[in-house]
Structures are given as structure tokens and as C-alpha cells.
Amino acid sequence: MTLQPKDMPDFSFDAGSQTLSIPVPEAFSFDEALIYLTRSPLECLHQVADRKVYKLLELQDGPVLIEISEAGDSSVQLRRVDGKPMSPTAWEAAADYVRDWFDLRTELTPFYRMAETDPLLGKLAADYYGLRIIGVPDLFEALCWAVIGQQVNLAFAYTLKKRLVETYGRQVMWNGHAYWLFPQPQDIAAARVDDLRKLQFTGKKAEYVIHIAGLMESGALSKESLMTSGDFDTAERTLTSIRGIGPWTAHYVMMRCLRLPAAFPIGDAALHNALKERLNLPGKPSHDEIRVIFAPWKYWEAYAVFYLWRSLHPAAGKAASASEGHE
């Protein structure tokens, strides 16, 4: 379900303008991507201005600030903002990151075909056509973000992430703005619990994040090993065996980082609210009721969840998915 069409070239590069164009599938909406990316003014790892996305990437050439914009209906364009040339390997890495981040490799035709005749999902698929699961390509960042988001509102989760990034991450200044890289595992592994408590992490969350950093720094945990583990259940078991990672956290990471379309964070509070609202239920549905509702969407649960999150705030771009990230 994550195959890129064989006739779609990876990218095209214009040496004169030092820009790289990535073709996008027909079922891709740059507008929907921007709505998701601007859902919080507290976001510290990218910025959006004038329909352009600015993202600091760690590439072969070091930290590089990339501008991502829409180029017609058929591609997105990448440009290094300082205009300096980059190696082919660095451009390829940047293109790979954006394809993963914007979920450009997923063939959504089967999802839309399934949703077409569904009384609940059909309207969502039509209203938000081209919405894709904006991801978190880096496993350490995805795990930290999921742990940070446990049992807190989204605004405070963003505040905690910002403090972590600005304490342990690296920055590049451009046009008076700071652009940040998420910390590497080695940046956090040596931290003490009290160090993170000063940032208003709970003691438990501080322990979890430091422990995860240690696992990743040692190589005991990696995205590559999870992706090549062979099956969905193995990835889930590996993640839930880690302190601080329960079923919701594991499935959230499987959904947004590992790109497993059957990932199903059934305990998500925003999902419960969306179903209650869309189905006019008197209260939040039970897990058993949710399983029945989702039964026709088997193997596409992650996308159904993402579209239901989007439905919570259909008119307010920066508030889209504002309740996402709660068990």
C-alpha cells in the first residue's frame, strides 16, 4: 500500500535555479498539507509563510534550510534558501525526506475506492480529497513527540517539545528567524531526569525519553530494524516492550513514522470525539463500538483516523487536528 507508481520519476533538478521538483500523485492536496502543518503557532521544527514551508534538514552538507512550495498541480519544488549548491547525494536525501514527510509514496486509489460508498468515510474523503498523513520521518522524534503528547493538551505538548528542542537541538538563523533540528538520541541519552523536569516534563516522561534515547544511541532500537522486522505485529510488540510506550503510542508511531496504513490508535481521544460528532452519539463510543465502525476499513485504519481528526475542525486551518495526541 506504500508503493510509488513505477512511471513516476523520483525528481527533476534544475542546475540553473538550483531547484528540485518532486512529482506528486494526483490525489495530493498541498492546501490540506498546509492546513495540517499550520495547526499550531507553537510549532518549532518548521515554519510556513506565503504558502511556502521552511524546514531545516540534517544533510550530508550539514544543516540545510529548505524551502518547499507548490509548483503547479503536479509537483512540489525544493530550494535551498541560501542559494548555495548542494551535492547530488544531499539533494536526493532532501527529496527522500519530503516524499516521506508529505506521504507522497502511498497509492491512495484503493482507499478512495473503499470510501466511495461508505456513508461515514465517503463524505470525509470527498471533503478532504488529497489529504495525506503528514508524517514524522525520524523515529526518535516520533517517539519523543508521542510520549510528550500522552495525557496533555496539544498546546502544552508543543510547549514541551519547543523547550526540549531549544535546549538540546541545533539551530540555523536566516532572515531573523531561528530554524531548529530535533535533538539526536546522543543529545538526550546523557541527560538526567532532573534536567528534563526543569523543562516541566514529568519524572516519568523524562525517564521514558532518556531511556528511548539510550536504546537508539546504542543501536538496540532503530527505524530500519522496525521496518525490516517482517510484519506489523512484530513492530508493535517491539515498541510496546519499551517503557513508556503503550498501544496508543506504538500505533501513533507506526502510523506517522513507519507508514503502516493498518496502524490504529484506538484509544485516541480526538478519534472518539470525531466519531461522537460525526455519528451524533450521546457519548463517546466504546472500543468495541469503534472496532465495529472500523471493520469495513480494514488495512486503512490509519487513514480513516487521520480523516476523522481532520473533520474536527473543517473550517479552522490552524486548529486542524487540535485534539490529536491523547490517549
Catalytic (active-site) positions: 268
**How many degrees, rounded to 5, is the angle at CA 50 between CA 64 and CA 67?**
15
| Helix orientation angle between 301-311 and 30-37, rounded to the nearest 10 degrees | 70
Distance of CA 314 to the CA centre of its chain: 19
Which of 253, 251, 274, 257 has the alpha carbon at shortest distance from 320? Answer: 274
Q: Could you tell me the sign of the dihedral formed by the alpha carbons of 271, 274, 279, 284, in that order?
A: positive
Closest by CA position to 319, among listed 53, 130, 40, 42 = 40
The residue written with cell numbers 503528514 in the block is 134
- Distance from C-alpha of 160 to C-alpha of 156, rounded to nearest angstrom: 6
Q: Are 321 and 312 in contact (CB under 8 A)?
A: yes
**Which residues neighbour 245 within 8 Å (Cβ) at sequence distance 6 or greater?**
143, 146, 147, 208, 212, 239, 253
